[in-house]
Chain A
């Protein structure tokens, strides 16, 4: 039951209708209900069933170059700690384990030191470390290293648990969640403002709300098209390998310095830059490939082999470890590699919270928090200007 009943006995519509129950939609529901807004969530599939359920749960500040996304990541890093306190760190498998970035060559190490200097100036805790310190941080790491950096703020959650618990808290605060309900169109008033959505549900053919939040992840572009307010959110395919359960063999999130360059890359072809981390269950996750091949779920063995080779390069013991399985997800990326967060002037009432690429788990609380500030008329903690949805049309004009 959503909202309060008016005198006519007809339930009044909620303030906010969130489309998508991945981690971003869940965080929007969490912060909007915390701010006193009445929230309904519609999800076409299962909670966390899209990219949230096909990623690694990285909460990274280390892989961001200075700029608006790093500012968002720093805000989110603080908010994740608060969320962990509120929902229970163990329930989310929240681990403030820190990140270790490894440079294999002297030029890469020099580039990494320049990056950490810029990041420190922007508020990141980043410590330059040499080979001996790397060996102390990660005893199983290859000794073939030139240098690296340690980032104590990097952390990890189990993403589906995180989305489910955020949403559970939102429900505790009165939110309604409709699963298995697909949005098929938008309701508009005479002036063109968005007043709700149409769905494929016979029981709920129309859902009205003051604001509709587009948290449809990699499919957010399609939803925006239904509102005539396109945003170029595109799929970037990423594979992750899963080892057999092991004792703690990798202490931090460990990745190669080349990863930062790949995250920011515009290369359409295959890129692999390995990220290795242990999980609560004992499995070690090895991510991630990045391919722009549309919504293609084909498994290419050479891609997995390359990823495994890189992981063994970082952690030689992995050559003796069995892989149980692999999985893939579609990261929602925009051409400028920034998310889309904020109101859409082309469709008043529509607010976007999408396009977080491979950083959506990390950036979820900040996104939800800023959306809640926006919808309650407060000044957002960060400027939303870099994330404005109309920026792509401005660039084209």
Chain B
């Protein structure tokens, strides 16, 4: 099994990850404690439950919003972005 660390992009900067690490784990290891703000009140949110239940840790991964950072395994070259609002402003009508 390949144990070689790799990197992905988070809001324009490079983050190092271990194989098998979730995006949330990699962000926390990188010192990033929060990566989203609530839709009402703008309060910071990062990993809370860590097991996919609370939906607090949502991020946009490779252009697709609504990913739970605690469940998605980081992959080399991923482009991870802070999710603004619900992340689906394109659908608003």
Our pick among A138, A246, A324 for the contact of B88 (Cβ within 8 Å) is A246
Contact string against A for B residues 74-93, beta-carbon threshold 8 Å, 1 for contact and 0 otherwise = 00000000000110110111
Q: Is the CB of B92 within 8 A of A249?
A: yes
How far, in angstroms, from A110 to B21 measured CA to CA in the complex?
57
Residue B39 is within 8 A (CB to CB) of chain A in the complex: yes
Which applies to chain A's interface (DSSP): helix, strand, loop or mixed?
A: loop
Residue B55 is within 8 A (CB to CB) of chain A in the complex: yes
Residue A251 is within 8 A (CB to CB) of chain B in the complex: yes
**B residues touching A (Cβ–Cβ < 8 Å)?**
39, 55, 58, 64, 66, 85-86, 88-89, 91-93
Contact string against B for A residues 315-334, beta-carbon threshold 8 Å, 1 for contact and 0 otherwise = 00100111010000000000
Residues of B within 8 A of A321 (CB): 66, 88
User: Given A282-B39, A322-B66, A244–B93 Cβ distance below 8 Å?
Assistant: no
CB distance from B78 to the nearest CB of A (A): 18
Q: Is the CB of B88 within 8 A of A249?
A: yes
Which applies to chain B's interface (DSSP): helix, strand, loop or mixed?
A: loop
**A residues touching B (Cβ–Cβ < 8 Å)?**
138-140, 244-249, 251, 282, 317, 320-322, 324
Residues of B within 8 A of A248 (CB): 92-93
Residues of A within 8 A of B85 (CB): 247
How far, in angstroms, from A282 to B88 measured CA to CA in the complex?
11
How far, in angstroms, from A37 to B53 measured CA to CA in the complex?
46
Q: Is the CB of A244 within 8 A of B55?
A: yes
Our pick among B58, B64, B91 for the contact of A246 (Cβ within 8 Å) is B91
How far, in angstroms, from A245 to B86 measured CA to CA in the complex?
6
Q: Is the CB of B55 within 8 A of A249?
A: no
How far, in angstroms, from A271 to B91 measured CA to CA in the complex?
30
Residues of A within 8 A of B89 (CB): 247
A-B contact pairs, 22 of them (CB 8 A): A138-B93, A140-B91, A140-B93, A244-B55, A244-B58, A244-B66, A244-B86, A245-B86, A246-B86, A246-B88, A247-B86, A247-B92, A248-B92, A249-B88, A249-B91, A249-B92, A282-B39, A282-B86, A317-B91, A320-B64, A321-B88, A322-B66
CB distance from A126 to the nearest CB of B (A): 23
CB distance from B53 to the nearest CB of A (A): 10
CB distance from A241 to the nearest CB of B (A): 15
User: Given A282-B39, A282-B86, A322-B66, A247–B55 Cβ distance below 8 Å?
Assistant: no
How far, in angstroms, from A125 to B93 measured CA to CA in the complex?
24
Q: CB-nearest residue of chain A relative to B68? A: A322
User: Given A245-B39, A282-B39, A322-B66, A139–B93 Cβ distance below 8 Å?
Assistant: yes
Residues of B within 8 A of A317 (CB): 91
How far, in angstroms, from A245 to B84 measured CA to CA in the complex?
12
Residues of B within 8 A of A251 (CB): 93
How far, in angstroms, from A321 to B67 measured CA to CA in the complex?
10
CB distance from B15 to the nearest CB of A (A): 24
Residues of B within 8 A of A139 (CB): 93
How far, in angstroms, from A324 to B52 measured CA to CA in the complex?
10
How far, in angstroms, from A322 to B64 measured CA to CA in the complex?
11
Sort A-B residue pairs by CB-CB distance and give the 7 closest, nearest first. Answer: A247-B92, A139-B93, A249-B91, A246-B86, A245-B86, A246-B88, A322-B66
Q: Is the CB of B66 within 8 A of A247?
A: no
How far, in angstroms, from A140 to B90 measured CA to CA in the complex?
11
How far, in angstroms, from A141 to B4 measured CA to CA in the complex?
47
Residues of A within 8 A of B88 (CB): 246-247, 249, 321
Residues of A within 8 A of B58 (CB): 244
Residues of A within 8 A of B91 (CB): 140, 246-247, 249, 317
How far, in angstroms, from A246 to B66 measured CA to CA in the complex?
10
Residues of A within 8 A of B86 (CB): 244-247, 282
How far, in angstroms, from A322 to B88 measured CA to CA in the complex?
12
Of B39, B92, B93, the most chain A CB neighbours within 10 A belong to: B93
CB distance from A325 to the nearest CB of B (A): 10
Residues of B within 8 A of A244 (CB): 55, 58, 66, 86
Q: Is the CB of A324 within 8 A of B92?
A: no
CB distance from B8 to the nearest CB of A (A): 21
How far, in angstroms, from A248 to B86 measured CA to CA in the complex?
10
Residues of A within 8 A of B39 (CB): 245, 282
Residues of A within 8 A of B66 (CB): 244, 321-322
- Besides A246-B86, A249-B91, 5 other A-B contacts (C-beta < 8 A): A244-B55, A246-B88, A321-B66, A321-B88, A322-B66
How far, in angstroms, from A320 to B93 measured CA to CA in the complex?
16
CB distance from B76 to the nearest CB of A (A): 25
Q: CB-nearest residue of chain B relative to A247? A: B92
Residues of B within 8 A of A324 (CB): 55
